Structure 1
């Protein structure tokens, strides 16, 4: 019998530098839409304490949102101020959202650049009552003779460019709207609807609570992301309007929530 070759022990996995580990964590987050600490421990062969420190450092750098047991993507960018800049993706999404408004309805129309595009896509002969916390949206609706436009009171938030505060929330709660077209900074199937500003979150929550149907109007880059202040669970939505280019991986969690999904 010929002698067996000697068993050569496997070389230990190379030790990664902290920057290398964090780059791999961000790569996994981009591929999967979320990362779990226990999975990262196995993949990178490091302790849970090490992964927790990495996630903490990445969170503080604004590169992800650390949550219990792992991390989620963080929304890219902040509320845009370039209201006059044409944005084809937002325009396409806005046209679909505008088509959901029916004659005679009472509608909450939120603020933000995508909702401003909705005002530009409305039929010229539409007859409806529009209630908005956005001065910019209210002004854009002034030329529609068939619309009754109500701008709720409150204090202008310098970041969100919408009205906020107790007066705003009270005015919204006194209405029973047929439809709410909601501007969304971030939407994640587990974390829900979230935004960058605490007071804006309260305003959006009041609109959702006072509407029969709520439609999230957003571009694909906001799907699967989170912002600091949670507005409501994603299940509070009835419809999601987004880009046709949104991947099935991004949309699948929302299909599981049985939301109606419309793409443009």
Structure 2
């Protein structure tokens, strides 16, 4: 099989399944795993995949998009995810909710009659919660990054270190069963990791286009996810991987 034919097959497999394994590709192509790894390396250089241990996954979408641009993507799907996510809430809980347009939708979906303590570094989330009478809102300051819509840096990390949460609604740029939760920005990823360390459970509500994709900075291992909220059209094979790792799947 010619090199370009291998590239085309890899691109098609990523589009269909979200990931490829080097060993399986080597057997199918009748070449060595070194040859496959070289193929994956070249496709990664071209931005067509992201390499992970044992193979590759599709690159996470919206790498260069601002939060206002991302807000225009899949609003109906995010609304469904938000409604399913807030069904998990119980009065008296303490939450971390970090940035992202799906998390902003979750904040807007929180009922007015539930008592919560919510700490967030997201301006959009804070704005959505500001008028809820039973929510004690803790706005985490720091260096505000306009394109992300969040505060990051030392002041944010220091504030997170003083808090604990029953649940962390973690905004994910990419989500894959081998690489876990990933983010595009290193400073934002650091805040996410700090929130994860100080939380009893992690909840991720994610649109289908982010499943089986990866961004550059790792946030949390896949087995750290307690609850995964997805659209009912999410690929069963991808969800099965997360279920095996201990995540409870919730359909929107």
TM-score, with normalisation over the residues of structure 2? 0.91
Aligned partner of 1:41 among 17, 21, 26: 26
2:147 paired with 1:162 = no
Q: Which residue of 1 aligns with 2:122?
A: 134
3-state DSSP of counterpart to 1:100:
coil
Corresponding position: 1:252 with 2:232: no
Matches within 5 A, 1:213-232: 213-232=201-220
Count the aligned residue pairs.
Answer: 249
**What is residue 98 of structure 1 aligned with on the other side?**
86
Could you tell me the TM-score, scaled by structure 1's length?
0.87
- 1:9 is matched with which residue? none
Measure, in 1, the Cα distance between the counterparts of 2:244 and 2:75: 30
Which of the pair is proportionally richer in helix? 2
Greater than 6 Å deviation, 4+ residue runs = none
The partner residue of 1:81 within 68, 90, 107 is 68
In our comparison, the structure showing a higher alpha carbon Rg is 1
- In 1, Cα distance between equivalents of 2:130 and 2:194: 24
What is the aligned partner in structure 1 of residue 50 from structure 2?
A: 65
Q: Which moved more, 1:132-141 or 1:25-34?
A: 25-34
Can you list the C-alpha shifts for 1:72-102, whole angstroms capped at 9, x where unaligned? 2221223542476471100000111122222
CA distance in 2, matches of 1:93, 1:30: 23
Query: CA separation in 2, counterparts of 1:182 and 1:158?
Result: 19
5+ residue gaps, structure 1, are: 1-14
Q: What residue number does 1:52 align with?
A: 37
